[in-house]
Amino acid sequence: MLFLDDDDDLRATFADLVKTIFERECHGIGSHRELIALGERALNCGVAILDINLGPEVPSGIDSYGWLRKHGFAGRIVFLTGHAASHPLVIEARRLGDAEVVSKPVSLIALTSLLEDRVPDEQHAPQ
């Protein structure tokens, strides 16, 4: 599993959770640059959860989505965002079609569905 978020604590906690509860490996990365550096290992993941906004004046999660698809990533891509549904980046992410947009906070049930490659029951638009 690939988890891209610019918050160090959330990234580490997410990786702990995936390892402890789902007993799977999670690659936690903090930026688009780290994603590129991860290269093949990122492309081999089954699920990629990408934060949309990675900070001011840096590539966003949408740029990372583009990189993954361009390099043949065949897994599921989910955008995780704390922003409003009307935010321009969130609207852009929703237009991509083959990626889902899930708002923070994501519950354990929704996370389980994502990792088991099911449509999460609790999937909802960002608030």
Partner 1 sequence: MIPAPPPDAVQAQHAWRGTMWACGLNAVGMPIDLVLGRDVPALPKWAPLGSSAAALLLMLVLLAFRRRPSNRLATSIFLVNTAIILVALWFTSTAWAAAPGTWIPFQANKLGALATAMLAPDLVTGAAAIGGFVGMVLLRYMTLPAAQQHRFPVSEPWTILIYGVFALALLIYRVHRIALSRRMMRVRTESIATQRLARAFLALRDYTNTPLQTIDLATKVIRKRHPELGPILDRIDRSVDRLYRLNHTFSIYESRIVWTEDDVSPDPSRLVASDLREGTR
CB closer to partner 1 out of 44 and 127: 127
Distances (CA, A) of 14 to 10, 28, 55, 122: 6, 8, 19, 18
Q: Which is nearer to partner 1, 15 or 38 (CB)?
A: 15
Name the pairing type of β-strands 76-81 and 47-51: parallel
Q: Shortest approach of partner 1 to residue 51 CB, angstroms?
A: 8
Per-residue 3-state assignment (H helix, E strand, C coil) for 32-79: HHHHHHHCHHHHCCCEEEEECCCCCCCCCHHHHHHHHHHCCCCCEEEE
| Least separation in angstroms between CB 38 and partner 1 | 22
Residues that bind partner 1 (CB under 8 A): 5, 7, 9-10, 13-14, 16-17, 20-21, 53, 55-58, 60, 82-89, 104-106, 108, 127
Query: Of 34 and 43, which has the nearer Cβ to partner 1?
Result: 34
Would you say 10 or 43 has its CB closer to partner 1? 10
